[in-house]
């Protein structure tokens, strides 16, 4: 049974001619089936190698060397009781040949192969772990950067609010002083500036104290500073 499967370039293969003979199909139909397979170009390149054989008339004819994966894909479309039997036999032949090749290796080579597989697996896990750690570090750095940016924005907004409040306070004071100097009624001054009557009295008192305009007769001084 193993003669159905051959080793070529380190891979196990079967030829389209052997499939034609054992499945009872014309070889040109097998070749046509291979060329019309609905698979990717990459899968076809890896599993179907175009070569040639010499027919009875000493002419070169096209033939394909097919891997186990290619054979499985191709034979999915083969039907009938005989086809089913040969599918099983070919799959068995592939498995037996693979087991034979592995079993012929010296023990130390098998151990080396196993050690390489384990080492490759360990390297892959280490790379994945490094990628995960790097991702967490990036996320943590982004989070800290966002927190710092939010803190800077909050400080900037607070400074701007303080500046605006100071500007509004100064503007209200100047308006109170100007309207008081014009002799505007206090209730009008309160309505225009949005300040309380007591606040207006305090601003006027401090303005008189600081000599910003002449004192008005009859004005009673108020204790405390302007709010």
In a domain, 11, yes or no: yes
Q: How far apart are CA 65 and CA 33, in angstroms?
A: 14
Would you say residue 175 lies in a domain? no
Residue with tokens 């012929």: 104
Q: Are 185 and 206 in contact (CB under 8 A)?
A: no
Residue 121 within any structural domain of the chain = no
pLDDT band, residue 223 (cuts 50/70/90):
very low
Give the DSSP letter of residue 223: -
Residue 49 has a pLDDT of 92
Parent domain of 90: 2-104
Computed over every residue of the chain, the mean pLDDT equals 77
Q: What is the pLDDT of residue 120?
A: 59
Closest by CA position to 90, among listed 105, 70, 62: 70
Q: Of the segments 97-106, 157-166, 174-183, 205-214, which one has the largest average pLDDT value?
A: 174-183
Position 180 pLDDT exceeds 50: yes
Reduce the secondary structure of 14-64 to three states and give it as a string. Answer: EEHHHHHHHHCCCHHHHHHHHHCCCCCHHHHHHHEEEEEEECCCCCEEEEE
Which H or E run includes 108? helix 107-181
The answer to whether residue 55 is domain-embedded is yes
Q: Does residue 56 lie in a domain region?
A: yes
- pLDDT of res. 216: 46
Q: What are phi and psi of 63, to 5 degrees?
A: -150, 155
Alpha-carbon distances of 29 from 16, 32, 46, 47, 129, rounded to whole Å: 10, 5, 21, 18, 51
Give residue-wise pLDDT tens across range 91-135: 777 777 767 666 655 544 544 555 555 565 566 666 767 777 877
Distance CA 151, CA 113 (A): 57
Token pair, residue 148, equals 């710092």
**pLDDT tens digits, 17-51:** 888 887 777 899 889 989 988 888 898 898 999 99
Residue 74 has pLDDT above 90, yes or no: no
How many domains does one find in the chain? Answer: 1
Whether residue 126 lies inside any domain: the answer is no
**31 occurs within a structural domain:** yes
What would the two tokens of residue 131 be? 């990628």
Q: 202 near 224, Cβ under 8 Å?
A: yes
> Which residues are CB-neighbours of 214 under 8 A, at least 6 positions away?
208
What is the Cα gyration radius of the chain?
A: 47
Exposure string over 29-53, b if 16+ CB within 10 A, otherwise e: ebbebbeebeeeeeebeebbbeeee
Domain membership flag for residue 13: yes
pLDDT at 63: 93
């Amino acid at each position: 049974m193993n003669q159905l499967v051959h080793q070529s370039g380190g891979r196990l293969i079967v030829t389209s001619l052997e499939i034609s003979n054992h499945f009872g199909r014309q070889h040109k139909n097998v070749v046509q089936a291979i060329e019309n397979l609905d698979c990717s170009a990459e899968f076809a390149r890896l599993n179907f190698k175009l070569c040639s054989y010499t027919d009875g008339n000493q002419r070169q004819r096209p033939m394909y060397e097919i891997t186990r994966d290619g054979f499985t894909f191709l034979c999915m479309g083969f039907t009938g009781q005989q086809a089913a039997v040969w599918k099983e036999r070919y799959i068995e032949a592939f498995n037996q040949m693979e087991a034979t090749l592995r079993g012929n290796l010296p023990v130390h080579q098998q151990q080396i192969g196993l050690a390489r597989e384990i080492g490759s697996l360990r390297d892959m896990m280490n790379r994945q772990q490094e990628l995960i750690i790097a991702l967490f570090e990036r996320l943590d750095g982004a989070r800290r950067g966002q927190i710092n940016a939010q803190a800077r924005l909050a400080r900037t907004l607070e400074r701007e609010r303080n500046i605006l409040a100071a500007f509004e306070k100064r503007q209200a004071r100047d308006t109170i002083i100007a309207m008081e100097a014009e002799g505007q009624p206090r209730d009008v001054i309160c309505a225009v500036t949005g300040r309380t009557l007591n606040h207006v009295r305090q601003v006027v008192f401090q303005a008189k104290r600081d000599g910003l305009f002449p004192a008005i007769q009859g004005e009673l001084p108020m204790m405390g500073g302007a709010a």
